[in-house]
Structure 1
Amino acid sequence: MAFEALGELLDESLHLPVGDRTYTIPAPSAEVGLRVQAIVHAAAAAADGGKVDDEVLADAAEHDLYRDVLGSAYDEMVSGGVSWPALKHAAITGMVWIAQDKDAAARYWSTGGDPSRMAPNRETRRAAQSGAASSIPSRGSTSGTSTRPAPDRSKGRRRR
């Protein structure tokens, strides 16, 4: 079996519409991808109250992360006069794409950066949970044994 060229299988760019223009974010280098993965992992650990790897976060501060994530689109966006919120949203969308996949990046993009729009609200989650719980029948015993309590054997025993 022959393998197809990887370039034929992967769409290695992200296309983000900002204003009246669509910017293409090229696939990051392996180095940038690995660094973004480490930063996202450290941020998730910090959000969960875990220990944060200071070296990873210092590395993020040391480099121009948004420039690395956006690649050639960074200079195009800056020279095109894109606003800071738009550039930041595009860069974070790029980070989500690198750390997860295009579907997750599209979900993040469509929220406008508002994390509360990413997850369903409490009422929707509860309705889904209660609906799922009530629609699953309880499992019966498969052992074939009775659930009646064992007889009390102390009755009928003779005292010595």
Structure 2
Amino acid sequence: MAFEALGELLDDSLRLPVGNRTYTVPAPSAEVGLRTQALINAAAVAADGGAVDEQVLSDAAERDLYRDVLGPAHDQMVADGVSWPALKHCAITAMVWIAQDKAAAERFWHSAGDPSRLAPNRQARRSRSGGANSTKRPGSTSGTSTRPATTRGKPQGKRRP
């Protein structure tokens, strides 16, 4: 089996519908992809209270990040007068696509950036999975039993008055 051309295997763009228009975000360069991945990892570490590499989260590293991840779609959105919340949602969706994959980006897109819509709450997860129930587990079926506990210490005999 020979390798197929990578361009035929990968869908290297993201199409984001905003208003009456669909913007195409091309795959980023390796440099932008690596920087985006580093920023997302650093943000996750910071959110967990860990020590963050200051150089990764510097203003210079963050400058023009939205423009970089959206590529030419950024300038098209600005020229079309797209609102700031919409542009920001598109850029973060593109960052999720770059750092993870298209399926994760679609989940983020459909959550409208609301984390509570992204991950269902515990009760909803349990109701889908069957969750905990009140049925007791059966005992061992190995056919062996444990010995009764013995008392330790002095043997039990008659008590002296």
TM-score with structure 2 setting the length: 0.82
Which one has a larger percent helix, Structure 1 or Structure 2?
1
The letter of the residue matching 1:132 is G
Structure 2 unaligned regions, length at least 5: 157-161
The answer to whether structure 1 residue 105 and structure 2 residue 108 are counterparts is: no
**SS state at 1:15 partner:** strand
Q: What is aligned with 2:61? A: 60
The structure 1 segments of at least 4 consecutive aligned residues displaced by more than 4 Å after TM superposition are 135-144, 150-156
Farther-moved stretch of structure 1 (52-61 vs 142-151):
142-151
* AA matched with 2:61: A
Q: CA deviation at 1:19?
A: 0.6
Q: How does 1:44-123 map to 2 (within 5 A)?
A: 44-58=44-58, 59-61=60-62, 63-123=63-123
Change (3 A) 1:21 1:132: same
Percent identity, aligned pairs only, is 70
Q: How big is the shift at 1:51?
A: 1.4
Q: Distance in 2 between matches of 1:52 and 1:143?
A: 52
Larger gyration radius, structure 1 or structure 2: 2
Distance 1:136 1:72 in 2: 58
Gaps of 5+ in 1: none
1:92-119 deviation line (CA, Å, top 9, x unaligned): 0000101111111111111212121111
CA–CA separation in structure 1 for the residues paired with 2:135 and 2:18: 46
Aligned-pair CA distance for 1:46: 1.2
Deviations 1:69-111 (A, max 9, x none): 0011111111111111111110000001011111111111112
Judging changes above 3 Å, is the alpha-carbon distance between structure 1 residues 38 and 136 closer, same or farther for their aligned structure 2 residues? farther
Q: What amino acid sits opposite 2:69 in the alignment?
A: V
Q: How far off is 1:148 after superposition?
A: 3.1
After TM superposition, give the deviation of residue 143 of structure 1 in Å.
Answer: 6.3
Give SS of 1:56's match: coil
**Cα distance, 1:60 vs structure 2:** 2.6
Match of 2:148 in 1: 149
**What RMSD over aligned residues (CA atoms) do the two structures have, in Å?**
2.6
- Matched with 2:159 is none
Letter of the structure 1 residue corresponding to residue 34 of structure 2? L
1:53 and 1:7, CA in 2 relative to 1: closer, same or farther beyond 3 A? same
**Structure-2 change in CA distance of 1:140 and 1:9 (3 Å):** farther
Q: Do the aligned residues in 1 keep the contact of 2:126 with 2:132 (CA within 8 Å)? A: no
Q: Are the counterparts in 1 of residues 32 and 69 from structure 2 also a CA contact under 8 Å?
A: yes
Q: Describe the shift of the 1:2–1:48 C-alpha distance in structure 2 as closer, same or farther (beyond 3 A).
A: same
Relative to the length of structure 1, the TM-score reads 0.83
Letter paired with 1:89: H
